[in-house]
Amino acid sequence: MPVLSQTDLYAAAGALLFCVGLYGLVVRPHLLHKVLALNIISSGVFLVLVGIARRVPGDVPDPVPHAMVLTGIVVTVSSTAFGLALVKRIYTETGAVTLSEAGDPGE
């Protein structure tokens, strides 16, 4: 057996994507970057789930993680759209693309 199986590689890449996305979510002030970072985080979660589903021997992967990913993709699409709508509304109301600190009237 190889030291790092294909499944492990996918799962590790998923964990890496999750952390990269989390870093971006915290560090980047631009709201559009935050929405993108959330997308990267969910891609990481999906990659871990798809990787884990492949552990089952045989041709057919575990269907439960697959169904979860299918559900997750749709939820991500709708939450991204909702996030973008919020960003747009914040921009039209305040002209800012970042969330202002308390007491600070936007940038």
Partner 1 sequence: MTDTAGQASLRTRIAVGAICTALFVLLGSAVFSISETDLGLAPSVAERQAESGVKNVVTAVLLNFRGYDTLLEIAVLMLATIGVLSLRKESAGIWASLEPAADPVLSSMTRLLVPLMILTSGYLLWAGEHAPGGAFQAGAVLGSAGVLLALSGYARPGWVTRVALRVAIAVGFIAFLVIALAPMLSGGALLEYPEGLEKPLMIVIETWLTFSIAVILISLFISSATPEMQERER
**Residues that bind partner 1 in the complex, under the rule CB under 8 A:** 8, 11-12, 14-16, 18-20, 22-23, 26-30, 48, 51-53, 55-56, 60-68, 70-71, 73-75, 77-79, 81-82, 84-86, 88-89, 91-92, 95, 98, 101, 107
Nearer to partner 1, 38 or 65 (CB): 65
Give the Cα separation of 49 and 67 in Å (integer).
Answer: 10
Nearer to partner 1, 11 or 38 (CB): 11
Give the Cα separation of 51 and 44 in Å (integer).
Answer: 11
- Least gap, CB of 49 to partner 1 (angstroms): 11
Positions of E strands within 1-107: none
In terms of Cβ atoms closer than 10 Å to its own Cβ (0-12, 13-18, 19+), residue 72 is: middle
User: To 5 degrees, how large is the angle CA 46–CA 87–CA 19?
Assistant: 30
- Least gap, CB of 46 to partner 1 (angstroms): 14
| Helix, strand, or coil (residue 98) | strand
